[in-house]
Amino acid sequence: EDCRLCIYGEVASTNRTLRELADEGAKEGTVVLAKCQTEGRGRRGREFYSPADTGLYMSILLRPQMEISDLMMVTAASAAATAEAVEAITGTETAIKWVNDVYAKGKKVSGILTEASFSLENGSIDFLIVGIGVNVLEPEGGFPESIQEKAGAVCQRDQCPEGIRNVLAAEIIKRVLSYYRTLPERTFYPSYKEKMLWMGEKIFVHTADKKKPAIAVGIDDRCSLRVRYEDGTEEILRTGEISVSHP
Ligand code: BTN
């Protein structure tokens, strides 16, 4: 397997470190793994809490030849791969919150931030960075107050096998690359769909200024979410954010 692993202590963000390596010509399959991040980033400009010792922070470099509209597939496949890896290594049952958050016992245990870089010449995809963060253990003293209600960990402190972060990282990399290589066949799709939270249930679709109540009807074969609003109209969401509890 062509995978080069670069291990760091503290970095600002593994996505940023890997972007620098990619700009210098790093190959597909290059992985950056760090002990902690000082500026871990999440989707929508949010911060990703990244302390040492309790979390796993890594980024995987891909150089896909695909339509830009298919990039979402890589993110969805990575979420399925991460959820499965967590289950395989820890035995903790996982679910996926559309688009790509991994949940366990009703709490978010992993987030994925995919960033693309486009070629200036023809606008095609130059490279893709899949950044994956996993809360392996709950930090001593708990998660910060701002995320306390939502955040969870994949392992209990007293039941956590030694060296789990390395084993989990290896399993995630293996599964992400395997789904990536079989992306045209959508091998990740049954697992992604099967793990999807809240299908058929009442949710809220987040828009710029409000949260609109809707029913999550289902996921289509491009991993888009079909929702039905209270007035009976339907919409197919390519990306976005949903929740189940009103603020
Ligand atoms: C989210 O939940 O909104 C996505 C979180 C993604 C976090 C990971 S940790 C490794 C990589 N480096 C970052 O700065 N972010 C991603």
Tens digit of each residue's pLDDT (9 = 90 or more) over 93-142: 999 999 999 999 999 999 999 999 998 888 899 999 999 999 999 999 99
What strands, in cross-sheet order, belong to the sheet with 95-97?
5-11, 31-37, 55-62, 125-135, 107-118, 101-104, 95-97
118 CA → ligand 1 middle, Å? 20
Can you state the angle between helices 164-181 and 71-90, rounded to 10 degrees? 140
What is the pLDDT averaged over residues 161-168? 91
Q: What per-residue confidence (pLDDT) applies to 247? A: 47
In the CATH scheme, what architecture does the domain 5-194 have? 2-Layer Sandwich (3.30)
Asked if CATH classification 2.30.30.100 holds for the domain at 202-243, the reply, yes or no, is yes
Residue 14 labelled as part of a binding site: yes
Cβ-based neighbour number of residue 191 at 10 Å = 18
> Distance (Å, rounded) from C-alpha 165 to C-alpha 244?
30
Q: How far is CA 210 from CA 51, 112, 246, 247, in A?
A: 32, 24, 10, 10
CA atoms within 13 A on the CB side of 102: 31
Of 30, 38, 40, 29, give the one whose Cα is nearest residue 7.
30
Domain boundaries, the chain: 5-194, 202-243
Instruction: Determine whether the annotation assigns residue 133 to a binding site.
Output: no
CA–CA separation, 16 vs 50, rounded Å? 14
How many CB atoms within 10 Å of residue 144? 12
Pairing label, strands 242-243, 234-237: unpaired
Nearest atom of ligand 1 to the alpha carbon of 42: 3
Tens-place pLDDT, residues 84-96: 999 999 999 999 9
Given this chain, do its domains 5-194 and 202-243 carry the same CATH topology?
no
Cα 145 to Cα 133, 151, 189, 216: the distances in Å are: 19, 10, 35, 29
Burial class (CB in 10 A: 0-12, 13-18, 19+), 153: buried
| ipTM of this complex prediction, to 2 decimal places | 0.99
* pLDDT level of residue 189 (50, 70, 90 thresholds): very high
The overall average pLDDT reported for the chain is: 94
Q: Which residues line ligand 1 (CB under 6 A)?
A: 13-15, 37, 40-43, 46, 48, 57-59, 101, 111-113, 131-133
CA of 37 to the centre of ligand 1 (A): 10
